[in-house]
């Protein structure tokens, strides 16, 4: 299942796309969880990307916070 939306952290607004499942996946999920794909964009630039494996690490603390919020909700 896909989810899309926006989240504000500090002065930054992130647009996100998350692909998550009912059951966790040790092979493809973030930390063995339910999220297999997650992209965070800020000002049109990718700030984090996970596509069945980490592609782009969080670029800063605000991005880490946005990721943590989405992990709590979907993972």
Amino acid 72: pLDDT: 96
- How many domains does the chain divide into? 1
Amino acid 37: pLDDT: 97
| Assigned token pair, 7 | 């989240």
Asked if 48 and 58 touch (Cβ cutoff 8 Å), the reply is yes
- Domain holding 70, by residue range, is 2-74
43 burial (CB, 10 Å; 0-12 / 13-18 / 19+) is: exposed
Give me the average pLDDT of each 10-residue run along the chain (75 residues): 97 97 92 96 98 96 98 95
Which residue, 55, 21, 49, is CA-closest to 35? Answer: 21
pTM (two decimals): 0.93
């Amino acid at each position: 299942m896909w989810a899309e939306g926006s989240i504000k952290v500090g002065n930054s607004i992130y647009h996100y796309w998350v692909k998550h499942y009912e059951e966790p996946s040790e092979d493809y999920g973030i930390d063995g969880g339910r999220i297999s794909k997650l992209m965070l964009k800020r000002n049109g630039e990718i700030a984090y990307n996970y596509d069945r494996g980490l592609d782009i690490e969080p670029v800063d603390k605000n991005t880490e916070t946005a990721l943590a919020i989405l992990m709590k909700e979907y993972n």
